[in-house]
Amino acid sequence: MAYFRTTYVFEVLSEEPMDDPISLEELHYQTYEGHCSGQFVAETKQEQLTEVEMVAACHNHGTDPEFFMIGVCEECQEKDCPGVVVCPQCNVGEHGQAAETHIADHGYCRECLRKWQLGEEGGEDA
């Protein structure tokens, strides 16, 4: 996964002081429909970020790094996923923190627990 930070510098010429901060919509309106002149100035700066730098940059924006799936398992989309844990009962691998905790606590997966519970109910019927 690659991450980038791109910085555009936009210059506005106006007869009134501009709002600070300003929304992109307002900026667009003022310079395209309104009575301001605007254009990008200076060179667009683009840099590649490491994951750690990207997390810090996200925090600067007030954006959750999860937005970019940082620290999220690609398989199960769970944050802090410990990877696949294999159930010793049925040998089926499951992803995620909850599965790992369940197998660690009970020695089998949630599916095995469900089957065991169903089996017990079935036993009462028979």
Q: Which residues bind Zn ion (CB under 5 A)?
A: 73, 75-76, 81, 87, 89-90, 95, 108-109, 112
| Distance of closest approach, residue 116 Cβ to Zn ion, in angstroms | 9
Residue number, 18 or 113, with CB nearest to Zn ion: 113
User: For residue 86, what is the DSSP state?
Assistant: E
| Distance of closest approach, residue 102 Cβ to Zn ion, in angstroms | 9
| Distance of closest approach, residue 126 Cβ to Zn ion, in angstroms | 23
Instruction: Enter the tokens of residue 55.
Output: 């997390």
Residue number, 5 or 122, with CB nearest to Zn ion: 122
Residue number, 27 or 99, with CB nearest to Zn ion: 99
Residue 16 to residue 37: CA distance in whole angstroms:
12
Cα dihedral across residues 32, 38, 44, 48: positive or negative: negative
Q: Which of 4, 100, 114 is nearest to 54 (CA)?
A: 4
Residue 84 to residue 106: CA distance in whole angstroms:
17
Residue number, 93 or 122, with CB nearest to Zn ion: 93
| Distance of closest approach, residue 72 Cβ to Zn ion, in angstroms | 9
Instruction: Enter the tokens of residue 76.
Output: 């199960």
Phi-psi group of 31: left, alpha or beta (phi > 0 → left; psi -120 to 50 → alpha; rest → beta): alpha
